[in-house]
């Protein structure tokens, strides 16, 4: 029976070895496939020059430019610019001259930018992609993470456990990097449409203009997110080398496995810090999903409303009893120092009552009613305020037009 036991052990070892090799090959493929997208950025290229004039020569930019940008985005953007200019002309009577000129300047800028957007954006995208590729040691890191794991960990089960953890991190990182690239593609192609919506910052399109500005604000963060990742790759690769750390090969392995997750975190934080919209969404989401904060807010609102109701009731009781300040249910004057809002409110009410009586006695009209004289005084004050406001607005318009 000894030979049967050996055959079973050999079969199990063979199966485990094949599974280990397959997983190591998978981790190598994912690792090598993620290195360039993490530090780079998709950029339209041209075979003749650095600036793309016409159709880009690399995919998927060629298809995006011909089948999407020229066919749909550019005609739609031009049509929306014309409609927006007509709308501004219709609304010209209800807006100031400065605001109308600003909207027309924005629309003119978007109209011209629609024709030169791809040549203008191709150069900075290529420049940032070249910086990331130059800083990050892509060729050295592509030698294979699986070989590093296999050489550092001798046991089969230890290798399987480490490979499973590494694959989980790499798959999550792959989805995040793919989402970043899709965002760059979508925003690069649709930026003229966002520009038209941003330019029409007038009612009733003001909310849409604010939304377009926030969406476009994410674009710089998505483009620049590869630079911090490239710096992390370079520093981590130099620090995590076996020759640098001496005999501590296991710690070197951990540093190598941490590079991809650290780069993903750096990318996310770059997008988060570069866009006010992302910070607002994150803060509102954290506040909305925090049960403790919601419970504390509800309790505070309940206490505040109860305190306000009791204070108003005490003030009313004191005012009805001809007292200065609030009076509790037992008849005690709770606030006599004049430091509280309730005391100030009661004092103001009593003072208003006294002044109203004096006003009625001193400035009676011929009919003997105070409201007639008050209406005349209010009408005169309104006319004077309107005259001063019109004069100030006219002076402001003249100054702005001279600017």
Q: Rounded mean pLDDT of 255-265?
A: 79
Element (H, E) at 380: helix 370-402
Query: Quick one: tokens of 171?
Result: 């798959």
Domain match, 49 and 183 both = yes
Q: Domain end: 285, 308, 329, which one?
A: 285
Domain match, 273 and 372 both = no
Of 34-38, 138-142, 296-300, 321-325, which range is least confident?
Answer: 321-325
pLDDT tens for 24-79 read 667 677 777 778 888 888 888 887 777 777 788 888 888 888 888 888 888 888 89
**What is the C-alpha separation between 184 and 41, in angstroms, rounded?**
8
Domain match, 94 and 227 both = yes
Domain match, 276 and 377 both = no
Query: Quick one: tokens of 57?
Result: 């020569």
Element (H, E) at 125: helix 97-135
Task: Check residue 244 and give its pLDDT.
Answer: 46
Domain match, 402 and 253 both = no
Report the chain's C-alpha Rg in angstroms: 36
Domain match, 50 and 190 both = yes
Task: Check residue 40 and give its pLDDT.
Answer: 85
Task: Check residue 245 and give its pLDDT.
Answer: 44
Of 70-79, 99-108, 109-118, 318-327, which range is least confident?
Answer: 318-327
First to last CA, the chain: 101
Domain match, 64 and 194 both = yes
Residue 139: phi, psi to the nearest 5? -65, -40
pLDDT tens for 82-95 read 888 888 887 777 77
Domain match, 398 and 261 both = no
Q: Domain end: 228, 253, 285, which one?
A: 285
Q: Quick check: 234 and 138 in contact, CB under 8 A?
A: no
Task: Check residue 89 and give its pLDDT.
Answer: 80
Task: Check residue 38 and give its pLDDT.
Answer: 86
Query: Quick one: tokens of 218?
Result: 């994410």
Task: Check residue 160 and give its pLDDT.
Answer: 64
Does residue 323 lie within any of the structural domains? Answer: no
Task: Check residue 390 and give its pLDDT.
Answer: 81
Global model pTM greater than 0.95: no
Query: pLDDT over 70 for what percent of the chain?
Result: 59
**What is the C-alpha separation between 86 and 82, in angstroms, rounded?**
6
Q: Rounded mean pLDDT of 265-279?
A: 76
Asked if residue 132 has pLDDT above 60, the reply is yes
Asked if residue 246 has pLDDT above 50, the reply is no
Asked if residue 383 has pLDDT above 70, the reply is yes
Q: Rounded mean pLDDT of 268-289?
A: 62
Does residue 344 lie within any of the structural domains? Answer: no
Q: Rounded mean pLDDT of 213-227?
A: 86
Does residue 334 lie within any of the structural domains? Answer: no
Domain that holds residue 381: 366-403
Domain match, 204 and 90 both = yes
Q: Rounded mean pLDDT of 321-328?
A: 54
Q: Domain end: 285, 307, 328, which one?
A: 285
Query: What length is written for the chain?
Result: 403
Domain match, 377 and 281 both = no
Does residue 279 lie within any of the structural domains? Answer: yes
Asked if residue 362 has pLDDT above 60, the reply is no
Helix 226-239 with 2-39: angle, nearest 10 deg: 130
Task: Check residue 358 and give its pLDDT.
Answer: 62
Q: Rounded mean pLDDT of 119-137?
A: 86
Task: Check residue 243 and give its pLDDT.
Answer: 43
Task: Check residue 210 and give its pLDDT.
Answer: 85
Does residue 206 lie within any of the structural domains? Answer: yes
Q: Say which residue, 168 or 362, is predicted with more confidence.
A: 168
Does residue 3 lie within any of the structural domains? Answer: no
Label residue 346 by pLDDT band (50, 70, 90).
low
Domain match, 278 and 371 both = no
CA-nearest of 141, 147, 142, 178 to 163 is: 147
CA-nearest of 180, 139, 146, 152 to 166 is: 146
Q: Rounded mean pLDDT of 282-289?
A: 48
How many domains does the chain divide into?
A: 2
Element (H, E) at 187: helix 156-199
């Amino acid at each position: 029976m000894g030979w049967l036991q050996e055959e079973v052990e050999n079969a199990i070892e063979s199966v485990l070895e094949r599974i280990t090799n397959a997983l190591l090959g998978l981790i190598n493929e994912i690792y090598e496939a993620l290195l360039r997208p993490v530090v780079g950025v998709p950029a339209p290229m041209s075979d003749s020059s650095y600036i793309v004039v016409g159709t880009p020569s690399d995919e998927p930019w060629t298809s995006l430019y011909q089948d999407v940008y020229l066919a749909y985005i550019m005609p739609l953007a031009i049509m929306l610019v014309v409609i927006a200019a007509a709308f501004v002309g219709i609304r010209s009577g209800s807006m100031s001259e400065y605001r109308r000129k600003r909207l027309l300047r924005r629309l003119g800028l978007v109209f011209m930018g629609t024709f030169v957007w791809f040549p203008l954006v191709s150069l900075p995208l290529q420049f940032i992609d070249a910086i990331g590729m130059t800083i990050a040691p892509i060729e050295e890191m592509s030698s294979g993470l699986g070989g590093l794991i296999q050489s550092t960990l001798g046991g089969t089960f230890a290798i399987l456990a480490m490979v499973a953890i590494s694959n989980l991190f790499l798959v999550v990182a792959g989805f995040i990097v793919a989402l970043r690239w899709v965002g760059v593609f979508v925003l690069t192609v649709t930026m003229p449409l966002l520009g038209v919506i941003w330019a029409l910052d007038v009612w009733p399109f003001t909310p849409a203009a604010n939304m377009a500005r926030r969406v476009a604000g994410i674009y710089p963060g998505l483009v620049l997110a590869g630079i911090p990742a490239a710096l992390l790759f370079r520093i981590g690769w130099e620090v995590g080398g076996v020759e640098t750390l001496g005999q501590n090969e296991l710690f070197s392995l951990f540093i190598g496995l941490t590079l991809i997750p650290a780069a993903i975190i750096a990318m996310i934080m770059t997008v988060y810090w570069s866009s006010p919209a992302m910070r607002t969404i994150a803060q509102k989401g954290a506040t909305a999903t925090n049960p403790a904060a919601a419970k504390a807010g509800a309790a505070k609102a309940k206490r505040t409303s109860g305190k306000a109701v009791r204070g108003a009731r005490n003030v009313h009781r004191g005012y009805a009893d001809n007292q200065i300040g609030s009076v509790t249910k037992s008849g005690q004057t709770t606030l006599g120092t004049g430091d509280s809002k309730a005391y100030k409110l009661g004092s103001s009410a009593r003072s208003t009552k006294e002044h109203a009586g004096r006003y009625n006695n001193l400035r009676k009209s011929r009919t003997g009613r105070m409201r007639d004289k008050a209406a005349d005084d209010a009408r005169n004050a309104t006319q004077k305020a309107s005259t001063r406001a019109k004069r100030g607005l006219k002076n402001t318009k003249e100054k702005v037009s001279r600017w």
